[in-house]
Amino acid sequence: MVPLRDDNPTRTVPYVTYTLIAINILVFIYELSLGPALDSFFRVWAVVPRELTASFSGQLPPQPLPEWITLITSQFLHGGFLHIAGNMLFLWIFGNNVEDQLGHVKYLIFYLACGALAALSQWFFSAYSTVPSLGASGAIAGVMGAYILKFPKAAVLTLIPLGFFITTARIPAVFFLGFWFVQQAFYGAASLNVPSNIGMESGGVAYWAHAGGFVFGAILGPLLGLFSGSRAGTNRSY
């Protein structure tokens, strides 16, 4: 299922969400210009679990930057066109409402914190992997975790492929995002004995980063004021 938009208007312009999308796209364009040097670039700016593990035990990183910085910088890196397109679509649809509720500054703190905690969630299950872990998925999963708490009844216009046919339906956010979370947790549990990552050994998906980001988003959102103020009447329910 692919979300197309939500029926959930905002009161403010989501400047931070727009800026995050722009930065991600600009960094990806830069990645495309690197050619063979891209792998070295990822190893400096993405999370390399084994190097992060070593840094926690006091070992110096192989580059001049502290290894913990990659918990932030990795959020702006992507491994391909579909990777960044999917992430930016979800951020575009769900980020504006969470930013509208938290406010610009707290939303930025929330977004980066969710991304870092999501990366640590994935690191916990692959602490000695040597493959760079990267992407905005964990931070965006945090946005989705906050969204499902605040706007469970908001209708999400969803593209649904049915074999050779494609249709659309308006699905309540609680079901769309709830299904997404259960799927990530299931795949994460299934991959515990299988090396994987876009982020993991076989170049797959970092499911534990997604699930972890979602959970931390649901925790941090209320702590930062997700339920303060009133949004009554500003979203259409399904």
User: Is residue 117 in a domain?
Assistant: yes
Dump the DSSP string for 4-43.
EEES---SS--HHHHHHHHHHHHHHHHHHTTGGGHHHHHH
Per-residue pLDDT, 89: 94
User: Is residue 170 in a domain?
Assistant: yes
User: Is residue 228 in a domain?
Assistant: no
User: Is residue 194 in a domain?
Assistant: yes
More confident site: 19 or 79: 19
User: Is residue 235 in a domain?
Assistant: no
Dump the DSSP string for 41-72.
HHHHHSB-HHHHHHHHTTPPPSSSS-GGGHHH
Mean pLDDT of 15-37: 96
Number of folded domains in the chain? 1
Highest mean pLDDT among 150-159, 160-169, 206-215: 150-159
CATH number for 96: 1.20.1540.10
User: Is residue 53 in a domain?
Assistant: yes
Please give the C-alpha separations between residue 228 and each of 86, 212, 236, in angstroms, as whole numbers: 30, 24, 19
Per-residue pLDDT, 230: 52
Q: What is the pLDDT of residues 105-135, one digit of tens each?
A: 999 999 999 999 999 998 998 888 888 889 9
CA dist., res. 44 & res. 189, Å (int): 29
More confident site: 131 or 188: 131
Q: What is the pLDDT of residues 55-90, one digit of tens each?
A: 888 787 677 778 899 999 999 999 889 899 999 999
Please give the residue range of the domain that contains residue 152. Answer: 2-223
User: Is residue 205 in a domain?
Assistant: yes
